[in-house]
Structure 1
Amino acid sequence: MPLLHISLRAGKPEAYRQAIFDGVYLALRETFDVPEDDQFMTITEHDPANFRYGASYLGVARSDDLVFIQITANDTRSVEQKKALFRRIADRLGESPGIRREDVFINLVEVARENWSLGLGVAQYA
């Protein structure tokens, strides 16, 4: 049950943003075994004054096309699955909408299963 928050600079067309949703979702299905229709995602666009990044931190040459992807998910995946997810997201977003690997920034936040309520005020995984 991942929850995604995606941030990028404003100005990309809707098809570009939808391709990000689709690519990340498919990568999650392929590497984290996320069920069909388990899609809870937002994209937030920022003007240049409200979007800052290290252009070369850790030797990665980032551009203004940088996309921040924060994924909150259950703490149940192996290190190998996490690495596979990161690679697959970068691959898929490179294919469509054409984002350079250097511009795919991913942060995985892991939580205990009981920390979710998917509606109705019920802790479905507890």
Structure 2
Amino acid sequence: MPLLRFNILLGRTDPEISRLLDAAHRAIVTAFGVPEGDRYQLVSEYREGTLTLLDTGLGIKRTNKVTLVEVTSRMRPEAQKKRFYEILCENLKEDCGIESSDIIVSFVENGDADWSFGLGRAQFLTGELS
């Protein structure tokens, strides 16, 4: 936990997607201090014309590598989120050639009762996870 959803345009190869996921996971581990094995990721690919990600009037130029990362997580301090944004952009530039202008991140936060990792239990509430 956290759960990352990647929304991208069709056309990336399997190795490119693997590098994307690996780079993002390293950013999560570094910024949030989660265990290496704490990895939940989904990729959704969209045809051209079915994914619109503009710049909110900021003058940011987007390319066909535009990537929307949705992070569902327990509450995180603002400093950790900012650090995640920085590390994610660094990793994706270095490993995938994706410019920071093509990276959009949105957090959706929830609480301990909102997670069950299996076995019909809420592990944050039972104390199995902290």
TM-score range, shorter-chain basis?
Answer: over 0.9
Pick which of 46-55 and 32-41 moved more: 46-55
C-alpha offsets along residues 12-62 of structure 1, whole Å, 9 cap, x if unaligned? 111110011001100011010111211110111110121112156322211
Counterpart for residue 20 of structure 2: 20
For residue 122 of structure 2, give the secondary structure of its aligned residue in structure 1: coil
Instruction: Say whether residues 1:107 and 2:109 are aligned partners.
Output: no
Instruction: Say whether residues 1:80 and 2:79 are aligned partners.
Output: yes
Question: For structure 1, which runs of at least 5 residues remain unmatched after alignment?
Answer: none
Counterpart for residue 53 of structure 1: 53
Does structure 2 conserve the Cα–Cα contact (< 8 Å) formed by 1:55 and 1:63? no
* Alpha-carbon distance between aligned partners in 2 of 1:68 and 1:57, rounded to the nearest angstrom: 17
CA drift at 1:102: 0.2
Structure 1 moving runs of 4+ over 3 Å: none
* Alpha-carbon distance between aligned partners in 2 of 1:120 and 1:35, rounded to the nearest angstrom: 20
Identity among equivalent positions (%) equals 28
Question: For structure 2, which runs of at least 5 residues remain unmatched after alignment?
Answer: 126-130
* Alpha-carbon distance between aligned partners in 1 of 2:111 and 2:56, rounded to the nearest angstrom: 34
* Alpha-carbon distance between aligned partners in 1 of 2:26 and 2:80, rounded to the nearest angstrom: 14
Q: Normalised by the size of structure 2, how large is the TM-score?
A: 0.91
C-alpha offsets along residues 66-99 of structure 1, whole Å, 9 cap, x if unaligned? 0010010111x21111100011001100001110
Counterpart for residue 98 of structure 1: 97
Which amino acid in 2 is paired with 1:121?
G
